[in-house]
Structure 1
């Protein structure tokens, strides 16, 4: 393997793995894809937390957490088919929408995968097949049963409960409706080339396109988005331009920002407030529906990063963004020091 080659240890069932593989493909960075299994798991034995994808960079360092990896790749390969828009304001919006996909979109993925028995059965079997790599049907079945039990047992921890089902599924329907209207008119969220926001939503929705129940839903209600995901999985041949910074934002971007203001930011604020009070769980209401889950420190880090990046924007970028973010219900949250 070339010294300049990236080694991705990931899985087809991991939205973040699919996200990072698609970015490396689009940016035409030399890489090899390694399906993580029992035979090669030793390669990541010392990585904590061992959350995939784990990428061995050409310098030999193993990294994970997709967003920091995206920006490290931007630093290492400046100007090479960047996934960050050139315009400062668009770059911030792309980061915001990427963050929402990673932290709220993943609830859609986890919910649809483990909420219904039909999906539990198929996906636990497929994921076991990926992991065991030829150890026999009996071993696959046993591993699948154990893995399914563990994942279903984690659903309450991450907020994928029957009580939260209405809000999670409503937001999934809204995202798909926004994208379905968008992809037949425009290629990507910020122009004719994909951004980190496109890739992050692609990663999460790539799993809905595979799991039985949401795949049926997507084929019926969002067939062009279904196909768009497959195209974005390998966009190495795409040539395009960023959207004119003076042009109005697309309805899809405006709609996703509105969902951030109505759902994602209230989620982040409720989690932040509960952690400050030392509480183990939190609840909030959005779109007329209730939601409750355990508190997480990582989401506070996400909120602080959004605020920090917003605070660093130039006066010109703020002048353009403030009205948009105010209309979406996001400005007050981001303006907190």
Structure 2
């Protein structure tokens, strides 16, 4: 019973899923290049990673994949056993997937040095040979396409001041934590760490972001290598919420809650873009239906909690400015 993960080294969600499969010791093959492109023909939304199941089925979208694997494999779960902690871990994974990803995209495609290196590396990874001319031609086309999407996904120079400030606050919290307790909910990793890792794995590679991390957040930078393969980690869930969890929740309350709510209002009104301001810094992007689904999923997960778990979670959300997400 072996899975195949069709992905790419420059894909944060591919790295996230590979790290999860490694930690959970689920037998798998890591596939990149042409075979990954072929796998896209088997899924509705043509985005990697694509997980090929042992029975020949294909699926993508990392968060649903996480929960499907939880149903299929009981050992070494990455969902905390406590329902309140499980909700908070899911919220932080969602924050990483949908907000921290903007730092990854912005650092990669705003500056020439990053555009040039990463477009060439992505082409090199995909072609795995084929000649330098072919690699350079694809790199040029792909670079132009990605830079052209910057405004749509909110990674413009005008927006990046907020994105970068938010990312640095999250990194400050992690840097203070990883030298002491290491994981967020005990002595084992949760889906929250893997979501965060996926995005930061790219900051640890791209030239501008890597220089920033090595200079200002050296232990978090090194932590990424440990999360990439923590198949040897044995640990337990522990009660409570360490300062890093509260700090990350506070950051989600500062930027992610306004982001999700503004997007939802725009979608309901049929508006193609939305704009918000945090700490005097502007942010504007295209309206996305997927983020509406993320908000709906968070609200449904909260509604499914027991009364005691709801009370515990609500206290944390109110403290962090996140209460409106489940209102």
TM-score past 0.5 threshold: yes
The CA distance in 2 between the partners of 1:319 and 1:220, in whole Å, is 41
What is aligned with 1:186?
181
Matches within 5 A, 1:101-120: 101-120=96-115
Write the deviation string for residues 101-145 of structure 1: whole angstroms up to 9, x where unpaired: 000011110000001001001000100000111011111111111
Q: How many equivalent pairs are there?
A: 327
What is aligned with 1:228?
223
Shift of 1:261: 1.1
| Helix, strand or coil at the partner of 1:7 | strand
What is aligned with 1:27?
24
What is aligned with 2:262?
270
Shift of 1:288: 2.1
| Helix, strand or coil at the partner of 1:290 | strand
Are 1:159 and 1:292, in contact at CA under 8 Å, matched by a contact in 2?
yes
With the length of structure 2 as denominator, give the TM-score of the two structures: 0.98
The CA distance in 2 between the partners of 1:323 and 1:140, in whole Å, is 53
Are 2:40 and 2:47, in contact at CA under 8 Å, matched by a contact in 1?
no
Q: Is structure 2 residue 291 aligned with structure 1 residue 299?
A: yes
Distance 1:252 1:40, change over 3 A: closer
| Helix, strand or coil at the partner of 1:156 | helix
Write the deviation string for residues 140-159 of structure 1: whole angstroms up to 9, x where unpaired: 11111111000000001000
Write the deviation string for residues 166-193 of structure 1: whole angstroms up to 9, x where unpaired: 0011011111111000100112111110
Q: 1:66 aligns with which of 55, 62, 65?
A: 62
Q: Is structure 2 residue 272 aligned with structure 1 residue 280?
A: yes
Q: 2:198 aligns with which of 194, 203, 206?
A: 203
What is aligned with 1:128?
123
Shift of 1:40: 5.6
Point out where structure 2 has 5 or more consecutive residues left out of the alignment. Answer: none
Shift of 1:39: 5.6
What is aligned with 1:174?
169
Distance 1:181 1:293, change over 3 A: same
Are 2:6 and 2:35, in contact at CA under 8 Å, matched by a contact in 1?
no
The CA distance in 2 between the partners of 1:40 and 1:93, in whole Å, is 32
Structure 1 moving runs of 4+ over 4 Å: none
RMSD of the TM alignment (CA)? 1.0
Q: 1:10 aligns with which of 7, 13, 19?
A: 7
Q: 2:91 aligns with which of 65, 71, 96?
A: 96
Q: Is structure 2 residue 247 aligned with structure 1 residue 250?
A: no
Say which is worse superposed, 113-122 or 318-327, in terms of deviation: 318-327
| Helix, strand or coil at the partner of 1:164 | helix
